[in-house]
């Protein structure tokens, strides 16, 4: 119907109307499914349904006619502040019937019904008749959860479903529409586009009492009917299971309380008496001290190359620097343990990828933190991107024993702390070694404690930080720092190119040398400049908004 609005003294303007947009909620389809299976079955006669519309939607939204789970309860109340609309459902059994339905005839029929109620005045008693609508649907009779991925063939579960349909309703069904539903999530995107729909002609088995012929024995890899064999020695043979752990060679650097407790949980041990040169501890006092430092470095390099896992169990922070650099360069796994008075940290260092396969590490590891979303910033970090002991520091290691009393130079801790940390360090190593990806395993965090563990031995965390005062442990994970003074690519490149000459500069210089090399000095300067700019901005704001002396400003 059309209406025209005229305005005196102006040209006639045609009045236009915004049509409804159907909004069928998931609850409606669930109710339709139940009605189709239990009540309607093959009945295609019209069914009365009810919808509603609302006049309070935000600007820009379409005019919606909503059908929800209560659509088949035509006598039920509509939601508050909503106007009811009565309708008719035409549900067809086949796709052909859906396509060949005379839509114009249905529309004319509904229009005549509205017109007759207007003529009779019945619409004055029930104005919802004016909003009558038609819903034409095609409900697929059979929908199967299909595990198959072939583009033209369904999976095995459909076979027996078709036998059931042929036995129970074969006399009523001739051609059946089947939907093989497939749900795939790939790279964060969910898709059902690979689902398939096809027609099946069913035989009539309603009068048959004979069991149909059966098939189903799985063929072997050769395509013949025969047994299949599985080699379980890799995961069930005790000798092969312990071979990897037993043959693992561990290098323990540090033979104090912590080192002795780690050694107790391992097997065969061999000791070496050596010194580890450290940043901020000069070795250029004489040619003899330089030669001794060179010999110590060469011995440490040789020991690390001969072992699979390196434990850092020393007292000072700077004593861990040289083994970290050498092990990172040689792609060796490092397990680090450090103690406080009642706190400890046990962590694995990120294991660099092999030099011949580190295509994505040809540049410094300056990750775009904006590309990480929320929780994903510190979860699911692969092993080659994990940070080391120095990655969380913004200053280079130096002489931490200078100007300290003897009791300050030695860590004083609670009596059981070294035993706890030492045991956890060995358990962390075992968990890493039995993981299929080894040192490249994705780091587990505290959020993963309630999830299914990735291996039979449980989680494989990046760090274990313990607090004995609360008898509590947390499992944080952190990314490698592109300006790290130990494992960054610029430090490793200098070490691999210049060798002992680069190390000697680190030993004999203050911490500023490493900070200059890695860019930490520039980072400090930029931070200070930003603080100065912020201070100047605040001062300008204070003077700009400073009240006059005779103005009273209420205190906040």
Which residue's entry shows tokens 């080659």? 384
Number of H helices, E strands in the chain: 15, 18
Task: Name the nearest CA neighbour of 484 among 324, 338, 345.
Answer: 324
**Residue 176, number of CB atoms within 10 A of its CB:** 20
Query: What is the rounded (10 degree) CA torsion for 127, 131, 134, 135?
Result: -110
The DSSP call for residue 70 is G
Task: Name the nearest CA neighbour of 322 among 519, 479, 492.
Answer: 492
What is the rounded distance in angstroms from the CA atom of residue 404 to the CA atom of residue 407? 8
The DSSP secondary structure of 94-144, one letter per residue, reads SHHHHHHS-HHHHHHHHHHHHHHHHHHTGGGT-GGGGG-EEEEEE--SEEE
Query: Is 410 labeled as catalytic in the residue annotation?
Result: yes
Q: What sign results for the dihedral spanned by CA atoms 411, 415, 420, 423?
A: positive
What is the rounded distance in angstroms from the CA atom of residue 230 to the CA atom of residue 218? 14
Catalytic residue, candidates 410, 484, 487, 539: 410
3-state SS class at 82: strand
Asked if residue 207 lies in contact with residue 168, where contact means CB atoms within 8 angstroms, the answer is no
Task: Name the nearest CA neighbour of 68 among 81, 45, 91, 85.
Answer: 85
* Token representation of residue 61: 């939204």
Beta-strand relationship, 189-191 and 343-348: unpaired
Beta-strand relationship, 333-339 and 343-348: antiparallel
What is the rounded distance in angstroms from the CA atom of residue 185 to the CA atom of residue 145? 15
Which residues are known to be catalytic? 410
């Amino acid at each position: 119907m059309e209406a025209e609005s005229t305005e005196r003294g102006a040209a006639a303007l045609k009045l236009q109307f915004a049509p409804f947009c159907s909004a069928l909620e998931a609850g409606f389809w669930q109710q339709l499914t139940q009605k189709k299976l239990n009540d309607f079955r093959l009945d295609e006669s019209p069914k009365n349904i009810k919808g509603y519309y609302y006049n309070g939607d935000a600007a820009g939204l379409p005019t919606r006619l909503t059908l929800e789970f209560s659509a088949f309860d035509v006598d039920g109340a509509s939601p508050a502040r909503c106007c009811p609309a009565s309708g008719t459902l035409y549900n067809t059994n086949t796709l052909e019937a859906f396509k060949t339905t005379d839509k114009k005839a249905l529309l004319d029929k509904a229009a005549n019904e509205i017109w007759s109620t207007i003529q009779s005045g019945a619409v004055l008693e029930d104005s919802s008749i004016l909003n009558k609508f038609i819903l034409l649907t095609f409900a697929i009779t059979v929908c199967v959860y299909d595990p198959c991925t072939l583009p033209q063939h369904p999976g095995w579960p459909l076979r027996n479903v078709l036998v059931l349909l042929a036995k129970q309703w074969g006399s009523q069904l001739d051609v059946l529409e089947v939907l093989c539903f497939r749900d795939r999530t790939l790279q964060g995107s969910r898709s059902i586009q690979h689902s398939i729909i096809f027609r099946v002609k069913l035989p009539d088995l309603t009068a048959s009492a004979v069991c149909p012929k059966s098939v189903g024995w799985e063929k072997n890899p050769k395509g013949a009917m025969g047994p299949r064999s599985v080699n379980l020695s890799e995961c069930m043979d005790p000798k092969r299971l312990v071979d990897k752990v037993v043959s693992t060679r561990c290098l323990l650097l540090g033979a104090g309380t912590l080192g002795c407790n780690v050694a107790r949980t391992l097997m065969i041990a061999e000791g070496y008496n050596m010194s580890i040169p450290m940043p901020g501890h000069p070795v250029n006092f004489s040619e003899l001290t330089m030669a001794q430092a060179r010999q110590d470095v060469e011995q440490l390099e040789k020991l690390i190359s001969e072992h699979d896992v390196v434990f850092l169990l020393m007292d000072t922070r700077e004593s861990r620097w040289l083994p970290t650099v050498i092990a990172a360069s040689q792609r060796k796994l490092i397990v680090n343990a450090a103690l406080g008075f009642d706190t400890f940290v046990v962590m694995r260092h990120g294991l660099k990828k092999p030099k011949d396969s580190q295509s994505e590490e040809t540049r410094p590891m300056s990750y775009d933190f904006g590309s990480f979303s929320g929780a994903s910033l510190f979860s699911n970090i692969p092993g080659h991107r994990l940070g080391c002991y120095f990655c969380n520091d913004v200053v280079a290691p130096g002489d931490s024993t200078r100007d300290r009393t003897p009791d300050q130079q030695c860590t004083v801790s609670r009596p059981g702390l070294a035993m706890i940390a030492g045991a956890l360090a060995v358990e962390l190593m075992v968990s890493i070694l039995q993981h299929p990806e080894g040192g490249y395993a994705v780091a587990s965090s505290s959020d993963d404690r309630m999830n299914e563990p990735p291996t039979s031995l449980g989680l494989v965390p990046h760090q274990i930080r313990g607090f004995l005062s609360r008898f509590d442990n947390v499992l944080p994970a952190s990314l490698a720092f592109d300006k790290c003074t130990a494992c960054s690519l610029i430090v490793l490149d200098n070490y691999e190119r210049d060798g002992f000459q680069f190390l000697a500069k680190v030993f004999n210089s203050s911490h500023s040398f490493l900070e200059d090399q890695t860019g930490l000095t520039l980072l400090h300067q930029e931070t200070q400049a930003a603080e100065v700019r912020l201070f100047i901005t605040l001062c300008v704001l204070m003077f700009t908004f400073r009240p006059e002396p005779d103005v009273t400003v209420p205190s906040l």
